[in-house]
A = this chain, B = another copy of it.
Amino acid sequence: MRRDVFQAIADPTRREIIGLISRQSLNVNSVAGKFDVSRTAIYKHLKILTECGLVIINQQGRERICEARLDKLNEVSDWVEKYRKVWTEKLDNLDAYLIELQHKNKKHGKHK
């Protein structure tokens, strides 16, 4: 199934999983052991994370090692930064406006 990174990181457990395996790759059981839900629940979260490329899994004997692919967060980063830019511009415009006001005050302002 085609999965969306935005939807994948919407769940707090999945964000925790990413935080966990970003420090060290772990097998499925080790990941599950860190949470108080069933292994199957974690397995499903891992499945969603792999489906959108945020996690890749390598078989090693009978274990499957989960590794975080943090570069996939770029999709989120790009979207957010686009709007951060808009936000910063708004602040800049406000700045410019305030400065303009100051200049007007100097020219036409009344002195107390």
Instruction: Contacts A6-B9, A10-B7 given; indicate if A18 touches B83 (C-beta within 8 A).
Output: yes
A70 at the interface (CB under 8 A from B): yes
Could you mark each residue 56-82 of chain A with 1 if its beta carbon is under 8 Å from any beta carbon of chain B, else 0?
A: 000000000000101101101101110
Give the number of times this chain occurs in the complex, counting copies.
2
Q: Is A27 an interface residue (CB 8 A)?
A: no
- Known A71-B87, A73-B87; 5 more pairs at CB < 8 Å: A15-B79, A22-B86, A68-B83, A70-B86, A74-B84
The residues of B that contact A76 with a CB separation of less than 8 Å are: 76, 80
A4 to B77, CA, bound (A): 17
* A74-105 vs B, Cβ < 8 Å mask (1 yes, 0 no): 10110111011011001000000000000000
